[in-house]
Amino acid sequence: MNTTSEKATNMPEVEEIEGLDKGDDDLLGDYPIDTVLIRNESRTVHDVLRRIEKGTFIMDPDFQRDFIWPEDKQCKLIESVLMRIPLPVFYLAENKEGQMIIVDGLQRLSTFRRFVNNELRLKLQHQPDLDGKLFKDISPKLQNRIEDCNLVLYVIDAKVPAQALLDIFERVNGGVPLTRQQMRNCLFSGPATHFLKKEAKIKVFLKATGKSLNWKTMRDRELINRFCAFELLGESQYRSDMDDFLAKALIKMNDLEKAKLDILSQQFRKSMRNNYFVYGKHAFRKHSTPYQGRSVINASLWDVMSTGLGRYSEALVEANKKELQQGTYSLFKNPLFDEAISLGTNQVSRVQTRFEMAHRMLQETLGDKTN
């Protein structure tokens, strides 16, 4: 069953998701203050644009939102610089390769880039000397004023813990607030984020999740990130910080050979087929019979079942469909398991409990013939 070329066609209304600790998207980090290392730099617009062209400043990774400022706002920014009005500071995050990722200021830098590249024509009716002008049309004096404009940059050190990095990103982002997964997509861009993007569009994933995960907030990619983290790192490596755990998975994936990522993709897709075959519309959702109404996806149940059924052959799973259903219903009736996928789900003990109980059920039902 090859699903490589199967893509999404349309997306229905998304649902809420359960099985996440309350506040997972906006927790303040519990880390020593001295680990938050931020340095101050000052660079001209010309210097920053040159570094963007060289690839040392990453302004527009493939996941980044489309350029969304309306042109009147872009024109007002250029006018402000020409009037020598100070700009707010810019935030950048340094990655382990020494590149600078734009954390806050993408829209402003995009505006400068467009104007200097003669892609933005000014619309300033109250400024007749500027109205309708491209960069090449304004005087050398005003061109210099744009390119020599000093930008204050705050650079977040690469050594800052992942959760602190995400918290800083969340606090300083001046545009539309980003979700934690959108932040991860920015800060750990590479083969890993390309993997999440590709797998989120595969038909078998959309079928297994009922197309109910919010792709705009990257909730779909977040669950795939969780699968990759528990599959590659294992629940034994989890240390109560989900942000850090998911970030470590992306870092590891960025260093994996393509062949190993391909194997991970095959395992993920097999898991989606297995889960959908056994549970149908109830895959990754709490339920007690195949006939009840569909509940919402539970992220903690996703953790154990996406990794669990990805390790068994489709033939073995298909031969034991009813037994797997009954085993899962028994888990849902067990207060310990229900608590482990419902309350305080990021606690180490809850993670270990749900994985131990789910693995035991799968072993008792399917044996040790994983592949």
Angle between helices 321-333 and 258-279 (to 10 degrees): 80
Is this model's pTM higher than 0.85 or not?
A: no
Q: Which residues pair with 39 in a beta bridge?
A: 155
pLDDT digits (tens, 9 = 90+) for 171-220: 776 555 678 888 888 788 889 999 999 999 999 999 999 999 999 889 99
pLDDT band at 63 (very low <50, low <70, confident <90, very high): very low
**Do 101 and 188 contact (CB within 8 A), yes or no?**
no
Residue pLDDT, tens place only, 75-127: 999 999 999 999 999 988 888 788 898 878 888 999 999 999 999 999 999 99
pLDDT per residue over 307-323, tens digit each? 999 999 999 999 999 99
Residue 125 CA to its chain's centroid (Å): 41
Q: What is the CA radius of gyration of the chain?
A: 24
Give the β-pairing of 38-44 and 57-58: unpaired
Q: At what angle do helices 191-199 and 242-255 cross, to 10 degrees?
A: 100
Task: Name the percent of the chain lying above pLDDT 90.
Answer: 66
Alpha-carbon separation of residue 92 from 109, 153, 169, 173, 254 (angstroms): 12, 7, 9, 11, 20
Return the domain boundaries, the chain: 17-27+179-366, 37-159
